Structure formats: C-alpha cells, structure tokens
Copies of this chain bind each other. A is one copy, B any other.
C-alpha cells in the first residue's frame, strides 16, 4: 500500500481524518495537555497510517527553537574529529538535541559559510572546532554578538560570551620536546609548519619554548612545512608532508637526530621516509607525533606521541553550550583547559645519539 507522494501530510490532514482539530492532534503528537485516551489512540493510528512527520520548520518558527546544534569541523578524515563529535553527540543525544555537522575544509571562507548556514537555519547553538582565521573570527564575533550561543574547541579566539574548551597543547609540545632533549637530542626538527606566516600553533610554540629553556639554538632549517606554505591542510594528507619534510631534513649535511611532528599522520610519513633512507627509528632518528590516534600504537616502531582527552573536550563543550542555551547570552564565559599526556613508545626509546 504505497502512499502517493503528493503534498506532505500536515496536522490539519490528520485532524480531518480523525474528526478533531489540529490542536488536538498537536497535543497527541507532543504528548502535552489533556487528551482523551480513545481520541489519542485514534489520532495516533491515523498519524501512523498517513506516515506523518512533523514539520520542523513550522515548529521551530513558532517555538523559536529547533532543538538542533551545529558543529563546525575543519575536516572529517581524522580520528580527532571523530572523537570530538562522538563526545558532543553523547551529551546532545541524552538531552534531546540533534547534531548537524558542517565541514570547512580548513578554509576561512567556508568556515564563514558554515556559520552563516547554521545561523540562517536557526540552530540553537554552534560548536566551533576549526582553527582561527581573521575572516572566521570576525563573523564569529558577529554571531555571538547577535546572541547565538557558541562554544569553542581548541580555537584561539576569545569572547566574553562564548565558552572555550582547549587542551594545553603548548605544554604538550613543550613536554614532547623536553622528552627528546632529556634523551640527549640536541638537533631536533619540527615538521608541519611554514615559517612564512606567523605560526599560532600552540604545540609548535611549546617546541620553541622547550628549546629556548634548555639553551638550545633554534635552527630555522630544521623547521619544515609543506611546499605551498599552507599549514591548514586536511589531516589525512599530511602523511605526504611528513614524508617530504623528513626527506628534506635527512638530506642535510647536519641532519637532526630527532623530530617532533605536528600530528601523528605527519609522524607516520616521517617514519616511512626514514626507513626508506635506510635509517632506523629510534636508533638513527627519534620521532614524536601528536594526538595518539589508534594507528600510533600500530606503527613499527610504535609511535611516541602526545594524547589529549578528545572525547572529553567534545563532551564539555556540549555541556557548556547547553548550559548557555538555558541560561541565556549573558552568562559569563566558561573555560576549561585539559592536560595532555606524553605517551612514550618505541620511536624514541634509544639513548645512543649520534652527534
């Protein structure tokens, strides 16, 4: 018994078929107010038969909320984004909210587009997990000023009425680098940033800080990014960057004895380049990654890396957002910083360092 896919069914249609008014049907659908048991059953049956789906547009328009949250991600290809969204969904689901995800492909322009789309469709709040950009920050500012609840994850942007969740990646980068220094390394490379633009990446700043603090010179030749100077590439293609960057470093007369990679994918690329060059990890070169993706414990050798509590960040960001939705725009900013944890595996085990 296939329905003719004509105009979609409305409350009025059901009301007519069940011999009541749309309001009564509304009460049945939403389980609100008094409805006679017999009437309720009848309406339910008719609604089921007609395959009724409520119109979220009309509903949202009337009620002035959609029970919908937007999440803006830079890309979709990495476990980091997946864990984040999982954390967010865990919280939203149990509170009856629906999550819609937008991808910016790490472009400021699409970041803005995502904000606009979500705002236009009147989500009740937005969680932003993309990296800061001038354009993006400007629009974000407007969004927040317009009263849309916003919760930020790991984005270097502050607003008195937007909540913020971050991992302390400065400290993470610092500790990763210090770990290498303590193993005796003196020439430590960094793969994943281009010095052509000012670098806001916290883990990189931690790297610089650690070198400084231990009296090591910062050698710009040991810092490599990808060719076009775009440090906003989708995570999954950064293996390439790690491979190329490492190859470049290995071809130097005085090559580094260890490298710190911007993320685990980059580190895996580096790992491979080292092995291809006939060298061994960690004997010839020590490698540290970042993020502790599942793959990190399955490389050979397993990767030393820095873990951040990703899912937890998603959870907390969602909780902050819901609280702001309930309490209103004037609520002061909540902020939570999570500690990172150095995970030492085989890729840095050696203590025999060649100068």
Residues of A within 8 A of B (CB): 2-3, 5-6, 8, 51, 53-58, 60-61, 66, 68, 73, 75-79, 81-82, 85-86, 89, 98-103, 105, 113, 116-117, 119-122, 142, 145-147, 234, 236-237, 239-240, 242-243, 265, 268-269, 271-272, 275-276, 293-295, 298-300, 329
Pair B5/A145 contact, Cβ less than 8 Å: yes
- Contacts A57-B122, A82-B77 given: A147-B5 contact, CB under 8 Å? yes
Copies of this chain, tallied across the complex: 2
- Contacts A86-B105, A239-B294 given: A146-B76 contact, CB under 8 Å? no
Pair A294/B240 contact, Cβ less than 8 Å: yes
What chain B residues lie within 8 Å of A76 (beta carbons)? 73, 76, 81-82, 85, 101
- Contacts A66-B121, A76-B76, A119-B53 given: A239-B298 contact, CB under 8 Å? yes
What chain B residues lie within 8 Å of A294 (beta carbons)? 236-237, 239-240
What chain B residues lie within 8 Å of A275 (beta carbons)? 300
18 contacts between A and B (CB under 8 A): A3-B145, A53-B116, A53-B120, A54-B120, A56-B120, A57-B61, A66-B121, A76-B76, A76-B101, A77-B81, A79-B236, A82-B234, A100-B100, A100-B117, A101-B103, A265-B295, A269-B298, A272-B298
Cβ distance A127 to chain B, nearest Cβ, rounded Å: 14
- Contacts A58-B61, A66-B121 given: A102-B100 contact, CB under 8 Å? yes
Pair B103/A85 contact, Cβ less than 8 Å: yes
Cβ distance A267 to chain B, nearest Cβ, rounded Å: 11
Provide the bound-state CA to CA distance between A124 and B105, in Å.
Answer: 23
Pair A51/B101 contact, Cβ less than 8 Å: no
Provide the bound-state CA to CA distance between A118 and B217, in Å.
Answer: 55
Pair A61/B53 contact, Cβ less than 8 Å: no
